[in-house]
Amino acid sequence: NAGVTQTPKFRILKIGQSMTLQCAQDMNHNYMYWYRQDPGMGLKLIYYSVGAGITDKGEVPNGYNVSRSTTEDFPLRLELAAPSQTSVYFCASSYSDEKLFFGSGTQLSVL
Partner 1 sequence: GESVGLHLPTLSVQEGDNSIINCAYSNSASDYFIWYKQESGKGPQFIIDIRSNMDKRQGQRVTVLLNKTVKHLSLQIAATQPGDSAVYFCAENSEDTGRRALTFGSGTRLQVQP
Residues that bind partner 1 (CB under 8 A): 4, 33, 35, 39-45, 48, 56-59, 90, 92, 97-105
Smaller CB distance to partner 1: residue 14 or 41? 41
E-only strand ranges, 9-104: 10-13, 19-25, 31-37, 43-51, 54-57, 64-66, 76-78, 87-94, 101-102
Count, residues in the chain: 111
Smaller CB distance to partner 1: residue 14 or 40? 40
Least CB distance to partner 1 at residue 90 (A): 5
CB atoms < 10 A from the CB of 18, how many? 10
Least CB distance to partner 1 at residue 80 (A): 25
Smaller CB distance to partner 1: residue 12 or 80? 12
